[in-house]
Amino acid sequence: MLNILNTETPSLQHPDLDLYDSARLMQALVEDQLAAIDAVRAAAPALAAAVDAALPRIAAGGRLLYAGAGTSGRLGVLDSVELGPTFSWPRERAVAVMAGGDGAMFVAVEGAEDDETQGGLDLTAQHPGPNDVLLALAASGHTPYVLGALAAAHAAGSLTLGLANNPGAAVLTACDHPILLDTGAEIISGSTRLKAGTAQKIALNSFSSALMVRLNKVYGNLMVDMKATNAKLVRRAVALTRRAAGVDEARAVAALSQCDFSVKTAIVMLLKQLPAADATQLLTQHQGSVRRALAAH
């Protein structure tokens, strides 16, 4: 099987890579990554369809689940973790399972990806349901651990998305929404932490960010549902509030201080001249949409 996978086939473009000086080597490595952008661009319609399919389930209280091994697994963990500070997404609603367990995030656990049964058990342990959405990640598209997780998600009635870097991969044929990221041969043969991983990172970023936009976590192009959990993010919250509401720093800070530094609440408070409680209630009535809350009479 390995010999027929695009991601495992030696590249014909740089057979003397080890002879390059640093400047030429860096240029070759960077330029090869451009194929990741092309692959995700080609997959954009499939990603958009996946967003539309996932939206009603997530809006109904479902979770984003991720399953992967190695680089793919780590990218799933990364996407799940970053949704909290960026969009105030509850940690329990973005859950990643990875071949080899949590420790495999830091130390490679060889052989764990070959355990299809364990993939099913790890996913089942998260008690998936019909409103949950699984993102199954595998560069090869044939990782047994990920296929086990996919089978468990299907059995629970969850929506399944498969992201793989080889056409016709088992992960793509076993899921509801196949997303092919056809990056081809790697410049360093078989090293899918390169452009295959880059394509997966772009696809995950794009999918989850689009989903959050559709869930009213963004106003215009401003991330107004972030968590101000450190000094940098407090400054960002103030800047976002100033920009969206057109007020000075003092007024922005005053409003934010009354609503636990919720940017979207502060914007509605300032532009509708409402107290924090009323602004919060208005946002709730409009499913957290700042735009609809501001338009309300």
Residues forming the active site: 82, 113
Q: How big is the chain, counted in residues? A: 297
For the beta sheet containing 177-180, the strands, ordered from the edge strand earlier in sequence to the opposite edge, are 94-98, 64-68, 133-138, 159-164, 177-180
Q: Are 71 and 197 in contact (CB under 8 A)?
A: yes
- Tokens 């997303």, residue located: 179
Question: Nearest 5°: phi and psi at 226?
Answer: -80, 165
Give the span between the Cα atoms of 62 and 292, in whole angstroms.
Answer: 23
In Å, how far are 6, 184, 198 from 9, measured between CA atoms? 5, 8, 18
For the chain, the straight-line distance linking the first and the last C-alpha, in angstroms and rounded, comes to 62
Which residues face 163 on adjacent strands? 137, 179
Q: Are 46 and 177 in contact (CB under 8 A)?
A: yes
Alpha-helix runs per DSSP H in 95-180: 116-124, 144-155, 170-173
CB proximity list for 222: less than 8 A, separation 6 or greater:
240, 243, 244, 263
DSSP state of 167: T
CB proximity list for 239: less than 8 A, separation 6 or greater:
none
DSSP state of 219: B
- The number of helix segments (H) and strand segments (E) in the chain equals 11, 5
